[in-house]
Amino acid sequence: MTGTGLRELKKQRTRDALLRAALELFTTQGYEHTTVDEIADAVEVSQRTFFRYFANKEEVVFAVQDMVESHFVDALRRRPPEEGPFEAMRHAVRSAWDTIGEAIGQVVPVELHMRAYQMIESTPSLIAVHLRRSAELDEQVARLIADREGLDVDTDPRPRVAVAAFAAVMRVTGRLWGQGEDASVEAIRELTEDYLDHLEPALATDWRSPAARPARGRTDRTRPDAADTPEREAGAHTE
Amino acid sequence: MTGTGLRELKKQRTRDALLRAALELFTTQGYEHTTVDEIADAVEVSQRTFFRYFANKEEVVFAVQDMVESHFVDALRRRPPEEGPFEAMRHAVRSAWDTIGEAIGQVVPVELHMRAYQMIESTPSLIAVHLRRSAELDEQVARLIADREGLDVDTDPRPRVAVAAFAAVMRVTGRLWGQGEDASVEAIRELTEDYLDHLEPALATDWRSPAARPARGRTDRTRPDAADTPEREAGAHTE
DNA sequence: AGACATTATGTCAGCCACTGACAGTTGACA
DNA sequence: TGTCAACTGTCAGTGGCTGACATAATGTCT
């Protein structure tokens, strides 16, 4: 597939140029206010050529995302088998963020990609596509996890369910991060860690006891909805 | 807003006609192979008129879904406050399915809506929109749950996280149901119950021990209208 | 009932995403 | 260097969607 030298090089260049131009335009003018013609003009190719590199306008937005995702999947594959599912996913996420530059730096500056990510989170039509893609990734990850644990994904619902729950947390944080000020990698990394800490406790039924690791007690509401809830280690971040 | 009689009646009729015609065409020919012109022609109005009733081609697909969702939200609002979050959501889902006819029957036959739902699940662009809409619903539900529990959704991450996990399960089942043969309401109802039973076990780290949890007392499945029955045996959620 | 204000609808022109077909150009390779 | 294959541009056309304007239907007031 990777044909001969010069031709291939030019193609690569055109593709990268289109990609960068598109992201630059999208992040400055907004996705919907940027036409494909503009992008093509910026790189001095015809609109038709744009569509030969990218199946549609959305695809160019998620091209980099693709790289990041397979970077994450690779990291997950490398986790030692002793780690439990959550542990493994969590470490994989962390390690993926830590080395994101290696994955995409050649094609696009990390900072531009971060801006692009924020743009996705604030553009309804892109959010939709983003969510569908995430769902597809979930499926892939579920199979991976099932393999690790020696389970059959078609028989045992637990891998899918666990991944779905994990991914849901990731999406919540992604959204919050997108709305926040700090567009840095560190910001989203920390937010993620924070929220993951809350996954299990949130699934307990008894939310009436003090925050944090809930004491497995009663479901008894003698306490008048005290607004004096100490902001303990709950979630004092955004806002 | 709800202006005078005759005008309003005609509008209602046109809207319903467009809705039914659209769903009928979509479910038989497929979404992408149906043009807006076809729909408009079927009802003998201009294309422009179609777009005055529905902002875009997608909206007509989800118009009924809208009704179903608020039906569910209503059911959730009616759950007794003693029920825990999961318990309440679970019962609300069940009761919503049980009475879906009351919610949409006036506008569209339930069977057509079920076919439409399957079509959504098998049309990529619609899946995307569906997921975005679900995410929005999640947010609404999270606030509702937070209210029930006397929590602040901006301070405490647990409502959002819990709802996200719950909703994730719902989506997995929705997808599986869409791929399956049985398009009946009962089928998706049972599938949902089944999967929800696995939510918590899936979050335990140790998956190497035997499989899940044997039956909990779901003995009263035959009862059709269990809407406001506070089944006090939700021991399945303690843990 | 007649006159006037509202509002729904149709028509038309036009933008933009996207595609198939055909022709011209350029790199690969003997 | 000439031939072939692959890349690109141009053109025409479809489908979703919108603004502007004219027309027709309905509601309201006297």
Two tokens at A19?
């990609």
Min Cα distance A109 → chain B (Å) is 28
Question: Which residue, chain included where needed, has tokens 């899940």?
Answer: B212
Which nucleotide lies nearest residue B47, CA to C1'? C10
pLDDT confidence of residue A211: 41
- How confident is chain B (239 residues) per 10-residue block, as mean pLDDT? 72 96 98 98 97 98 97 97 90 94 95 96 96 95 94 83 83 86 90 80 48 37 34 33
The C1' atom of C8 and the CA atom of A189 lie apart, in whole Å, by 53
Q: Can you tell me which residue has its alpha carbon closest to the C1' of nucleotide C26?
A: A7
Chain A residues within 8 A of B124 when measuring between CB atoms = 132
Two tokens at B97?
């399915």
Interface test with chain B among A91, A160, A225, A228, by most B beta carbons within 10 Å: A160
Record: contact B171-A164, CB cut-off 8 A = yes
Interface test with chain B among A89, A161, A209, by most B beta carbons within 10 Å: A161
Size of interface A-B (CB pairs under 8 A): 134
DSSP letter at B209 equals S
Which of B132, B149, B207 faces A207 most closely, judged by CB atoms? B149
Residue type, B48: R
Q: Which region among A15-29, A99-113, A176-190, B2-16 has the lowest average model confidence (pLDDT)?
A: B2-16
Two tokens at B85?
């979050």
Neighbour tally for A190: CB within 10 Å: 16
pLDDT mean over A3-10 = 80
Which of B127, B151, B202 faces A161 most closely, judged by CB atoms? B202
pLDDT confidence of residue B52: 98
- Dihedral sign for Cα atoms in the order A129, A72, A111, A59: negative
Record: contact A207-B131, CB cut-off 8 A = no
**What contacts B147, CB < 8 A, 6 or more positions away?**
none
- Dihedral sign for Cα atoms in the order B82, B87, B88, B91: negative
Q: Which CATH architecture has domain A1-54?
A: Orthogonal Bundle (1.10)
pLDDT confidence of residue B201: 61
Distance CA A49, CA A125 (A): 24
Cα B14 to chain centroid distance, Å, stands at 25
In chain B, the residue whose alpha carbon lies closest to the alpha carbon of A229 is B151
Record: contact A234-B127, CB cut-off 8 A = no
Chain C nucleotides close to protein (CB under 7 A) are 7-12, 15-21, 27-29
Interface test with chain B among A171, A207, A238, A239, by most B beta carbons within 10 Å: A207
Burial B130-169 (b: 16+ CB within 10 A, else e): bbbbbbebbbebbbbbbebbbbebebbbbbbbbbbbbbbb
Q: Can you tell me which residue has its alpha carbon closest to the C1' of nucleotide C12?
A: B48
Domain A56-202 fold: Tetracycline Repressor; domain 2 (1.10.357)
Record: contact A87-B205, CB cut-off 8 A = yes
Cα A11 to chain centroid distance, Å, stands at 28
Distance CA B127, CA B58 (A): 11
- Residues of A 55-74 whose CB lies less than 7 Å from any atom of strand C: 55-58
Longest Cα–Cα distance of chain A, Å, equals 76
User: Is residue A168 predicted with pLDDT exceeding 60?
Assistant: yes
Question: What does the DSSP assignment read for B17-58?
Answer: HHHHHHHHHHHHH-STT--HHHHHHHHT--HHHHHHHSSSHH
Record: contact B207-A124, CB cut-off 8 A = no
Q: Which region among A177-181, A204-208, B91-95, B235-239 has the lowest average model confidence (pLDDT)?
A: B235-239
User: Is residue A142 predicted with pLDDT exceeding 50?
Assistant: yes
Q: Helix, strand, or coil here: A40?
A: helix
- In angstroms, the Cα distances linking B41 to A131, B45, B74, B109 are 34, 6, 36, 22
Q: Which region among A159-168, A229-238, B10-19, B44-53 has the lowest average model confidence (pLDDT)?
A: A229-238
pLDDT mean over A59-73 = 97
- In angstroms, the Cα distances linking A197 to A69, A170, A180, B45 are 22, 12, 20, 56
Distance CA B17, CA B109 (A): 13
The C1' atom of D13 and the CA atom of B28 lie apart, in whole Å, by 26
Record: contact A234-B165, CB cut-off 8 A = no
pLDDT confidence of residue B98: 93
Using one digit for the tens of pLDDT, what is the confidence trace for A85-136? 888 999 999 999 999 999 999 999 999 999 999 999 999 999 999 999 999 9
**What contacts B49, CB < 8 A, 6 or more positions away?**
B14, B40
The C1' atom of C19 and the CA atom of A69 lie apart, in whole Å, by 30
**What contacts A105, CB < 8 A, 6 or more positions away?**
none
Residue type, B59: E
Provide the terminal-to-terminal Cα distance of chain A, rounded to the nearest Å.
Answer: 50
pLDDT confidence of residue B14: 97
Extents of the domains making up chain A: 1-54, 56-202
Two tokens at A141?
């990850």
Nearest CA among B220, B223, B224 for reference residue B232 = B220
A207 backbone dihedrals φ, ψ, rounded to 5°: -100, 0
Distance CA A144, CA A168 (A): 18
A26 touches strand C (CB under 7 A): no
The C1' atom of D11 and the CA atom of A46 lie apart, in whole Å, by 13
Nearest CA among B203, B228, B233 for reference residue B216 = B233
Record: contact A128-B124, CB cut-off 8 A = no
Q: Which region among A60-64, A114-118, A221-225 has the lowest average model confidence (pLDDT)?
A: A221-225
Taking domain B58-222, whether its CATH number is 1.10.1130.10 is answered by: no
Distance CA A188, CA A194 (A): 10
